[in-house]
Structure 1
Amino acid sequence: MSYGPSVPPRGNLMVSLACVWKTDTSVLFGVEEHEGIFVFENVAKNQHYVWKHYLLAWAVGDRVTCRRQRDRSTITTNPKNIASSRYFYELAEFSDLELQYLDNVAKRSRTELGRKVNGNFVDMFTVTTKLRRLVASLPPRDDETRAQTEELLRNAERGLGESWHVLIEHKGTPYLDRLRTGDASFWTDADEAIDFCFFLGAQFTRTARMSKAVRTVELPLGLDLARLWPLESHMWGTEIGAGFMQNRATTQATILTNETSVPFITGDQPIINLRPQADPKSVFYYPITPKIALRLTIAEPGCSVSTETVSQFEAERLNHQMFEWSDDQIYGVDGDYLEAMTNLPKTERFYADC
């Protein structure tokens, strides 16, 4: 069981800063404690909040059809151009109050492992804030040194979150590939399931929809959750992943096969809870391809895997719920169908149960 950021990815930001400042690494910042922070060069500006490899299942050739709701347009494009935003995972420079808040969130995890993992997230994603403060306290340097320092720190703030999701995607690739063949047998093996559970948690919280939803949450003392979410989302993803793992013994994994004329669609919130108000019996839905989806039903007796064939009505219902959960974009193989879906009210309920 290897999941969780015990140390950040390899590379060393402190060593690079030390070279710029021509000083010992220990002067810059506890390198023994924080060894391994990435040095980022050529950070991707266009950062995906839905995994590009995942979206390729809806590609015809190398192009995916996307319906954008805000400008009411349908495009067919390379998946690198959708479900993404400029420096989406960029970290803020945190204040003392924000650092204290993040430490408190990490300590409120339900398990000792969760507290440790989330504490590691705080250490990893606030190191640039602490380095900025330390550099500011050192004697002034020339303009070139200051510019090089700013570039190193700025690139780290822009690249840390993206790189962490790349690592999670790497762990998730074998599971997604198996699901695309209709194989969810790994669900009954605890050693295999753990990485998949945390992968699911990360895909649930990383999206633009979740980022925008938290902006409506009011925090005490004037804290702005929009500034904190690029870090806090990792902690909540861990909590959700731990919840999947904790409930796995009473969760049924069902492969839904769709042979109807209405293929499954997906959206910019690709994992959804079909019963968000029905805790503890939640039902999570994750379309995998136009023909295959995964449903996780929590609070069922035993840990099991089954297969179920959906009707056209069920496919329509699930597609509408993907649309309902979406922020702006839905994806599929039929642009006319996507346009027709977005002409429906998002709040329409043409089904009685999930």
Structure 2
Amino acid sequence: MSRKFFEAKKRHHYVWAKYLSRWGNGTKDVFYTTKTGKIAHDSVRAIAAEDFFYKTTTLTNRNVGIIKALSEKSPHHLHTQHMSYLEDILKIQSLEDMYRASGIQDHEAETLIHATKCNLMENLHSSHEMKVLSILEALTYERLDILNDKQHMIEFMMFFGHQITRTKTFRDAVFHAQLRRNSLEIEFADTIVHAWWFISYMFGMNIGWSLYSSRNEDSHSLLLNDTGLPFITSDHPVVNVHSCVSETDLIAPKYADLYYPISPRIAYIVCNSKRFVTGINRVDEAVVDELNTKITKQAMVHIIGNTEGALLNYKKHLGQRYNKMNPFL
């Protein structure tokens, strides 16, 4: 067996490092805000990451029951996919259980078990990233026609959905929203926390499929920014920028204008408000400033830009929505 099977990936990025490097001016170094509110210039490897963020946990029968109940609310074909992934994970868990029950202590087995827990979801997210490399590259060069291909659109929307649900910002907001008024709610909330590595992946699949399914009703637009003010991104790179979004409560908004900056010059937005027309839209500085402000407010710690100046005017907005929803921070 290859040595790579035994190498546990410790540092998990919840925002794709290669994506963030689009703000690196040809390098891997970007300008970003730190936990102390300063602006640093360093490698993308240092940001939007946490050790063992996607590490899998052992699922109890009750955990599995709650996961299945959540999945059953999905369209049938997605529920089938969720359960297929879950079955594979439970098979791996069963193998570990048999190994533990044997009483045998084997260094190679322990190393492989640890690596599998660390790498399984990280590798799954990486597989989605690899599928959209050429798509993001084409969009950077204004080739929106690449999404006329059905498979490309499916892959991009699945990736897009996970860019919402895989972040630490989204995770903490969901954890904070869980009710714990009785034993059933506590059990449900504990499962959400314990199995978030899997539940968040299901949610991302569902959002991605919903966006794909509604593609003919929503506006899918490429925003071109040729102003002197570049787009910035953050540790939560897809945000709803519609004015109906509450800055204090985690409630479902009436409209979803899901905005995703791709580079300092290019962004993608899916609008069910019809704010932008389907196709290519050129934006002025006022719109860029609005979008940068909204992505900053919905970030947790990091906003990322291609220059220090691109971040200076937005630092004061950093994390405003996140902090209002999490008053104990």
Report the TM range for the smaller structure's normalisation. Answer: 0.7 to 0.9
Is the contact made by 1:214 and 1:226 (CA closer than 8 Å) also made in structure 2? Answer: no
Where in structure 2 are there 5+ consecutive unaligned residues?
Answer: 247-251, 322-329
1:88 alignment partner in structure 2: 53
1:338 alignment partner in structure 2: 311
1:346 Cα deviation from its structure 2 partner: 5.1
Is the contact made by 1:106 and 1:122 (CA closer than 8 Å) also made in structure 2? Answer: no
Is the contact made by 2:25 and 2:306 (CA closer than 8 Å) also made in structure 1? Answer: yes
1:134 alignment partner in structure 2: 98
**Equivalent in 122, 129, 147 of residue 162 of structure 1:** 122
Q: What code does the residue aligned with 1:257 have? A: L
- The number of residue pairs the alignment matches comes to 305
Distance 1:344 1:210, change over 3 A: closer
Question: Counterparts of 2:303 and 2:320 in 1: how far apart (Å)?
Answer: 16
1:318 Cα deviation from its structure 2 partner: 0.3
Question: Counterparts of 1:159 and 1:191 in 2: how far apart (Å)?
Answer: 26
1:41 Cα deviation from its structure 2 partner: 2.2
Question: Counterparts of 1:135 and 1:221 in 2: how far apart (Å)?
Answer: 31
**Equivalent in 319, 328, 350 of residue 301 of structure 2:** 328
How big is each residue's C-alpha offset from its partner over 1:78-115, in whole Å with a ceiling of 9 and x where there is no partner?
21222111121111112221122122222221x11111
1:218 alignment partner in structure 2: 179
**Equivalent in 158, 166, 176 of residue 198 of structure 1:** 158
Q: CA RMSD in A?
A: 2.5
Is the contact made by 1:93 and 1:128 (CA closer than 8 Å) also made in structure 2? Answer: no
Is the contact made by 1:252 and 1:305 (CA closer than 8 Å) also made in structure 2? Answer: yes
- Secondary structure of 1:162's partner? helix
Question: Counterparts of 1:48 and 1:241 in 2: how far apart (Å)?
Answer: 20
How big is each residue's C-alpha offset from its partner over 1:300-322, in whole Å with a ceiling of 9 and x where there is no partner?
59xx7422221111111100011
Question: Counterparts of 2:150 and 2:272 in 1: how far apart (Å)?
Answer: 16
* Larger RCO of the pair (alpha carbons < 8 Å, separation 6+): 2
How big is each residue's C-alpha offset from its partner over 1:48-92, in whole Å with a ceiling of 9 and x where there is no partner?
111111112100341111112x31121111212221111211111
Question: Counterparts of 1:316 and 1:190 in 2: how far apart (Å)?
Answer: 33
2:240 alignment partner in structure 1: 273
Where in structure 1 are there 5+ consecutive unaligned residues?
Answer: 1-10, 17-38, 349-354
1:149 Cα deviation from its structure 2 partner: 2.5
- Secondary structure of 1:91's partner? coil
Question: Counterparts of 1:185 and 1:252 in 2: how far apart (Å)?
Answer: 14
Is the contact made by 1:83 and 1:329 (CA closer than 8 Å) also made in structure 2? Answer: yes
2:64 alignment partner in structure 1: 99
How big is each residue's C-alpha offset from its partner over 1:134-173, in whole Å with a ceiling of 9 and x where there is no partner?
22333x22x3x2x333222111111101100110001111
Is the contact made by 2:300 and 2:318 (CA closer than 8 Å) also made in structure 1? Answer: no
- Secondary structure of 2:5's partner? coil
1:286 aligned onto 2:260:
yes
Question: Counterparts of 2:170 and 2:84 in 1: how far apart (Å)?
Answer: 22
Question: Counterparts of 1:130 and 1:99 in 2: how far apart (Å)?
Answer: 13
TM score, norm. by length of structure 2: 0.85
Q: Percent identity?
A: 23
1:296 Cα deviation from its structure 2 partner: 1.2
Is the contact made by 1:197 and 1:245 (CA closer than 8 Å) also made in structure 2? Answer: yes
Distance 1:269 1:118, change over 3 A: same
Is the contact made by 2:261 and 2:268 (CA closer than 8 Å) also made in structure 1? Answer: yes
1:299 Cα deviation from its structure 2 partner: 6.0
1:78 alignment partner in structure 2: 43
Question: Counterparts of 1:158 and 1:85 in 2: how far apart (Å)?
Answer: 12
Distance 1:279 1:215, change over 3 A: closer
Question: Counterparts of 2:209 and 2:70 in 1: how far apart (Å)?
Answer: 15
1:242 aligned onto 2:209:
yes
TM score, norm. by length of structure 1: 0.79
- Secondary structure of 1:257's partner? strand
